[in-house]
Structure 1
Amino acid sequence: MSLTTVDPSGGLTRDTLNAVLGAVCAEAGLDPAGAELIKFTNNAVFRLRAAPVVVRIAGSSAARARVGNVVGVARWLAAHDFPAVRLLPDVVQPLWLSGQAATLWEEVPADGGRPGGADLAALLRRLHDLPGPPPDLPEWRPMDEIRQRLAEPEDLGDADREFLLATCDEVEEAMSTLRFDLPPGVIHGDAFTGNLVPAVGGPVLCDFDSTAVGPREWDLTPVAVGRLRLDYPDDDQTPMALRYGVDITRWPGFPVFRRLRELKLVTSVVPILRSHPAIRPQWQHRMRTFRSGDLTTRWQPYR
């Protein structure tokens, strides 16, 4: 399959990913043979076998719209010597080919111990204390991202789409009434332990798609929601609250942020429901419980 036959307006499938990966590697002078697909949700992430490089391909128009921001944030963090993944040098980034967008990164061997909530809290404290923000960093507008995903759904029924759009309106209205305790500033935007790479010298931060200027309370929310909703074996919320010095679950606005986080967890894969059918059973489970108002049933990570 040629890259020119891949429709950039749609979600990527496993069949088309190889064409995109091959074109990206050819442009960067890399060998895609034996590359391992290590993640496929909003982005497809490959680990190359022939070089210590990770290739990240935007999987939807929403992800492509944020790729310039990802590069800007990565360069800003590198300038501050912040422990984060680094862009591959000597390559024009982001790389655009026939409407597809990719970024290339230096591989960080995941040879350290599992990062926990305290590790994430320490990195967030350091991030929140950095001078900045980086140039052109957008304001935090989570509903824009969610509505963009809902504008390009794959196999999403009309009733489900209408419910999710109505929920966007309800959450947005509730957010307008919130009072924040922490000063606003740069936020990671998707701060959970899954976005830490367990390097030998200590965990490093990755995934800057949602980085913005916004309320710091949001960066403390994903781990708390993960403790309440996702079927994780470890409690990362308690050590995170202790290390950061704030227990977000005690903040009066937490129920609103919990609903926003769960809305994001439901809608994050809407653009690839057809392209990546293996995630559909878990998505249906999340959608059913979220829609019914069930706050106790556990969810599993998308795989």
Structure 2
Amino acid sequence: MASYNQMPQETLRERAEAALDSLESCDICPRACGVNRLAGEVGYCRSGRLARVSSFTPHFGEEAPLVGTRGSGTIFMTGCNLRCVFCQNYDISHLGEGREVSPAKLAEMMICLQEGGCHNINFVTPTHFVPQILEALCEAAAMGLLVPLVYNSGGYDSVETLRLLDGIFDIYMPDAKYGTDSAAKKYSDAPDYTRIMKAAIREMHRQVGPLEVDDDGVAIQGLLVRHLVLPENLAGTAEVVRFLAEEVSPETYLNVMAQYHPCYKAYSYPELSRPITLREYAEAVGLARAAGLDRGIGI
């Protein structure tokens, strides 16, 4: 049984109300823009009172423990609190492709994915819509939602907001994009990314621990971390894997991702204007192994 089903409905609703209150002077994410999203104002994420969704569908391209045999039920949220110049989903995250949905409609999406056989409900880029997700979850749980929830974020998350999710989300899958703030500032407009990302991942691990799977290898609970290898080691892989192994857990499930290719604004940066090489990827995997991380894809 998913964690949120073990929580009293009253407690779940109180968490949702507390999160919604934060929208009046928004500090849901580390940007803390202070705009009144309840009144329709928008801040850095360009999002107002209602959630915006680009698509929802069973997804078979996620990590194997999420996909299983029936897919991960992904709900792609529109907008983002990062501005990655190489974003492969820039039409959704930067250009705003998607539509506003009511809490009832978002709840229906969750139920539809569950009825389609998906192993979990996977919120992609949920950071700026935590209140709306909790609001919809209250309705979805009452409608019979049972599968685990996945928090699939860019890693730029507020610890205070994550604490509202304690006992609600079973699976966290953040990015650990950078090991240096200079790269985070230049390529994602997030000069304090490493401090915030590290604090967020520590909190996620505190809540759910290392990844646990059932007899079929499907994720039940725990932390998965993604790290995209960039050309010329711009992602600072050595510091990322050191942090995960030494400050989180050597049991951390890490997906060292090889799929970088230049898109969106990447061609404006010569160092990002090519795919990574096999050697660059092998070096990143080697750093992870040397740090003692041996759970995940590519390791």
* Shorter-chain TM-score above 0.5: no
Which gives a bigger RCO, structure 1 or 2 (Cα 8 Å, sep 6+)? 1
> Normalization by structure 2: what TM-score?
0.29
> Normalization by structure 1: what TM-score?
0.29
